[in-house]
Structure 1
Amino acid sequence: MGSIELVCPAGSPAMLKAAVEAGADSVYCGLRDETNARNFPGLNFSPEELAQAATWAHARGRKLLVAVNTFARAGQSARWRASVDAAATSGADAVILADLGLLAYARERWPDLRLHLSVQAAAGSPEAVRFYAQAYGVRRIVLPRVLSVQEVAALVRETEAETEAFVFGGLCVMAEGRCALSSYAARRSPNLCGVCSPPEAVSYTEEDEGLVSRLGGFALDQFAPGEKAGYPTLCKGRFEARGLLSYLFEDPVSLNAMSLLAGLKAAGVTAVKIEGRQRGKAYVARVAGAFRQAIDALDSGADPEAFAPLLTDLAEGGRETAGAYRKLWR
């Protein structure tokens, strides 16, 4: 069994170079518009930068993957098709798609372009994977973050497509690809506009009770002096219900599945993926470097778990989870 491919995020050309230099095998990025799910100001690539990035990565034996992973809106699908065209002409190694119409367009317009299925499509069963592979020629499935290691292994056994699993970074409570919470408060949703909790809708104010975070004017959390304050998203807000103050939807924690690398490799996973295109080059350099060491250790027969503590301070709220991979609930 070969080594697991390490796929790292790039929100900018500088971040892409940092990821590759730290040990990424592949880097994924998006264009500077709402066709990708990290549409934040100051992030992402122009078509020209995308072509330059592909050339730079290929010269170093690395791959460039382009995310066009939001859902096209009625009457505006030309914008999404243009992003697929830009990815194809840039020399990218694959495009990551979720929208069925875009998958059909990409297969017909660019028959030699390698297609990966975004986590946003939520293909979590062998039947779903086979459908995308047979109907659209999808070569790789980015697995939804709701499967245990045992479920991943069962899926791999019953399908022929490659699989890619998230192992580090932000977690989201949404049913993959169908989040609407952000749009209620901020009028923009991640799956249509490419941004969850847009920065212009976020605010922090010092009040008598402490630091208060808001989204679209709605108070989502309150922090005591010295308490770590996370980025305000509705799914990770702290609310009072029936007299109990708690995180009703999801605790503000980060995924770190480095301790499960051996299990994921044994399950047949092709690639592991780092989340965080919005986090910057220092972040990706540290995470890519730690996972590079862990994967190399695994390949040599050593225990990769020893490298997990290298990243604890990067976790949201200072807390980590193995997510659904080590599922104890149903």
Structure 2
Amino acid sequence: MSRQKVPQLICPAGSLPALKAAIDHGADAVYLGYRNDTNARNFAGLNFDRKAMVEGIRYAQARGRQVLLAINTFAQPGRAADWQGAVDGATDLGVDAVILADVGLLDYACRRYPDLRLHLSVQGSATSYEAVNFAHREFGVRRAVLPRVLTLAQVETVIRNTPVEIEVFGFGSLCVMNEGRCWLSSYATGESPNTVGACSPAKYVKWEKSAGEMNTRLNGILIDCFRDDEPAGYPTLCKGRFEVDGETYYALEEPTSLNVLEILPEIARIGVAAIKVEGRQRSPTYVAQVTRTLRAALDELANANQRFHVRPAWQAELARVSEGSQVTLGAYDRPWR
């Protein structure tokens, strides 16, 4: 039976149970982070201490899978040693690659550890092949994760003009901004994913319950008001409802999830190396469900002897864990262009 080359499936691991769920359900690799502000998902209860990371790496690699360590925030003044120490620790742990965004840290990693495989984080905001090629030429970057603002044709242009492997997002929560360049959380709180590793840090979040409704605030800013029969979302500025010209609605972005099932053949055709699932902050159940579904779809796509078609059961599975119970192709498909 002949097989078509398909992208790797890269899945989130915000905890050891999530890592095992991803590996057990077909991920080719998982990405994870330290339990500190060197990674862009620095929330209480998430991420790995050294003991859990050692166990997770052993679990994945024993099954022939890869572990990618995200050190993808930007080193803060006077604390460069903390980020450099994170890279040092990655080499000691034996991870398969390190995902970096900070140019200074990329320079440190490539000079100190020339054999360490480096990936350019989506937080590096490389939206052109010139930017990707710069990272390759200067720091030896082997793979780049593209921000979720490019059309599929633009992704193809990048791939055609770089020797670097290209990874794109395939499922999960969207970011309305170009990753690495969002200042909304910083505007409201003085802290952002790039500085402390958290969008809308929990210490600034406040829930106010009153008769029939729940208000959510971020550093005193009213983000949304939910009725008792509505699920109350976490207060992030980009996904809040605001009054504009007398009308209240999602002024910046509606809660929705990216889902590329229907364009998987095109993603494979243009040479995407890896598809990434968003969601280190999500549960092991979410990770298992999404991984299992995308694994089945990629395996069917790999079977060149049959025509690929999206199964309704796959869409139903992903719809159940989609943000706002909505899915979109996001920037990949812009019919109005």
TM range (shorter): over 0.9
Q: Distance in 2 between matches of 1:51 and 1:117?
A: 23
Q: Which residue of 2 aligns with 1:54?
A: 57
**Offset at 1:62?**
0.2
One-letter code aligned to 1:213: T
Local SS of the residue matching 1:167: strand
Note if contact 2:39-2:73 (Cα within 8 Å) is conserved in structure 1: yes
Note if contact 1:295-1:304 (Cα within 8 Å) is conserved in structure 2: no
What are the equivalent positions in structure 2 for 1:85-124 lying under 5 Å apart? 85-124=88-127
CA deviation vs aligned residue, 1:210-247 (integer Å, no higher than 9, x gap): 22222222211112342233221001111112222222
Structure 1 residue aligned with 2:44, among 16, 41, 45?
41
Q: Which residue of 1 aligns with 2:308?
A: 303
One-letter code aligned to 1:116: H
**Offset at 1:302?**
4.1
Note if contact 2:148-2:178 (Cα within 8 Å) is conserved in structure 1: no
**Offset at 1:255?**
1.2
Matched, 1:251 2:254: yes
Q: Which residue of 2 aligns with 1:236?
A: 239
Q: Distance in 1 between matches of 2:257 and 2:316?
A: 13
Matched, 1:188 2:191: yes
Structure 1 residue aligned with 2:138, among 135, 140, 145?
135
**Offset at 1:286?**
0.5
Local SS of the residue matching 1:291: helix
Local SS of the residue matching 1:314: coil
Q: Which residue of 2 aligns with 1:317?
A: 324
Structure 2 residue aligned with 1:216, among 219, 222, 225?
219
Q: Distance in 1 between matches of 2:70 and 2:99?
A: 5
**Offset at 1:265?**
0.6
Local SS of the residue matching 1:305: coil
One-letter code aligned to 1:303: F
What are the equivalent positions in structure 2 for 1:146-161 lying under 5 Å apart? 146-161=149-164
CA deviation vs aligned residue, 1:24-53 (integer Å, no higher than 9, x gap): 010000001000000011111123332332
Note if contact 1:258-1:304 (Cα within 8 Å) is conserved in structure 2: no
Local SS of the residue matching 2:39: coil
Q: How does the TM-score come out when normalised to structure 1? A: 0.96
Note if contact 1:259-1:308 (Cα within 8 Å) is conserved in structure 2: no
Which consecutive unaligned segments of at least 5 residues does structure 2 have? none
Q: How does the TM-score come out when normalised to structure 2? A: 0.94
Q: Which residue of 2 aligns with 1:284?
A: 287
Note if contact 1:12-1:43 (Cα within 8 Å) is conserved in structure 2: yes
Note if contact 1:230-1:317 (Cα within 8 Å) is conserved in structure 2: no
Identify the range of structure 1 (249-258 vs 74-83) with the bigger mean alpha-carbon deviation: 249-258
Note if contact 1:230-1:316 (Cα within 8 Å) is conserved in structure 2: no
Local SS of the residue matching 1:38: coil
CA deviation vs aligned residue, 1:158-213 (integer Å, no higher than 9, x gap): 11110111011111122220222113333421110001112232233333462222
Local SS of the residue matching 2:36: coil
Identify the range of structure 1 (83-92 vs 173-182) with the bigger mean alpha-carbon deviation: 173-182
Over 3 Å counting, the alpha-carbon distance change for 1:329 and 1:77 in structure 2 is farther
For these two proteins, the number of residue pairs brought into alignment is 330
Q: Which residue of 1 aligns with 2:200?
A: 197
Note if contact 2:25-2:288 (Cα within 8 Å) is conserved in structure 1: yes
Q: Distance in 2 between matches of 1:51 and 1:121?
A: 27
Note if contact 1:69-1:96 (Cα within 8 Å) is conserved in structure 2: yes
Matched, 1:80 2:72: no
Identify the range of structure 1 (77-86 vs 180-189) with the bigger mean alpha-carbon deviation: 180-189
% identical aligned pairs: 50
Q: Distance in 2 between matches of 1:304 and 1:81?
A: 46
Note if contact 2:5-2:268 (Cα within 8 Å) is conserved in structure 1: no
Q: Which residue of 2 aligns with 1:6?
A: 9
Identify the range of structure 1 (64-73 vs 47-56) with the bigger mean alpha-carbon deviation: 47-56
CA deviation vs aligned residue, 1:92-116 (integer Å, no higher than 9, x gap): 0000000000000000111100000
Identify the range of structure 1 (101-110 vs 312-321) with the bigger mean alpha-carbon deviation: 312-321
Q: Which residue of 2 aligns with 1:268?
A: 271
Local SS of the residue matching 1:235: helix
Q: Distance in 1 between matches of 2:198 and 2:18?
A: 19
Q: Which residue of 2 aligns with 1:67?
A: 70
Note if contact 1:209-1:222 (Cα within 8 Å) is conserved in structure 2: no
Q: Distance in 1 between matches of 2:319 and 2:207?
A: 25
One-letter code aligned to 2:308: D
Q: Distance in 1 between matches of 2:159 and 2:316?
A: 29
